Amino acid sequence: MKLDGAFTALVTPFREGKVDEEAYRQLIERQIQEGIDGLVPCGTTGESATLSHAEHEMVIRICIEQAKGRVPVVAGAGSNNTREAVGLARFAKEAGADAILLITPYYNKPSQEGLYQHFKAIAAEVSIPTVAYNVPGRTGVNLTPATIARMYKDIPEIVGIKEATANLTQISDMLELCDEDFILLSGDDFTVLPTLSLGGRGVISVVSNLVPKDMHDLCAAHAAGDMQKARSIHYRMQSLCRICFVETNPVPAKTALGMLGLCDPAPRLPLVPLLPENRDKLHKVLLDYGFSV
């Protein structure tokens, strides 16, 4: 299993309030056909917070089935309840996921010691490659470089982190404290290229729901040492990055996929459809990028 390059944090399409399996399989197939390096079901972008346990398991199972081993699947299995996270991790392993993504516990606001013990407890019960997910803007707690380095050293299952702070100093500190096998994936589409330049290995991306090939090509160009091409793709994608975060993720991305006829754009409450003025902006960005909408 190789956790390098562009991984898509997949949206979860709904139709009439239920997971739309047909649309989901088509989205996955499009991702693979356009060269994505890996898939992440049931992350924040997949609206995992409002999926029932049965839906969560269904979405992961579908993704693994559709991928058919062609690309790695890193299944979201996080929770702010450690016991619940153990159950989700166990299911992901049994379903055949290549790795799991564990968000830091949200709302509880544990200390750094609490964060360490949370990840250690899950790994003690479910041995599977684990990528920690640090997104303080969503969770209210920051996994510090010292803590992730301690986790990486002490817990064999911890192979890396999805770092979504866009804080290049923190990213640099994490990479400095860990060895060259540590897998740091950007969790921020705006700073993929700077993260790669520091030693990051790739990205778990929202924007790649729309442009998987471009995000793959950016990572591949950097890996090949073609910085001119990497910078060109980076700047080309910035308009999509901005519009995909004009409102709470994944609302803009799902709306864009709806405009492209790829799935129903409806999010699940408490998320609501994109404001009309932002729909207009999104439509223009897609047209300017070259989409037929």
Q: Which residues are identified as catalytic?
A: 133, 162
Helix (H, G, I), strand (E, B) or coil at 272: coil
Omega before 270 within 30 of 0, i.e. cis: yes
Q: Give the other-Cβ count within 10 Å of 276's Cβ.
A: 8
- Amino acid letter for position 64: I
Question: Which contiguous run of DSSP H or E holds residue 14?
Answer: strand 14-15
Q: Residue 226 is encoded by which pair of tokens?
A: 């073609």
Angle value at C-alpha 111, between 107 and 117, nearest 5 degrees? 100
Amino acid letter for position 289: Y
69, 74, 76, 78 alpha-carbon torsion, rounded to 10°: 140
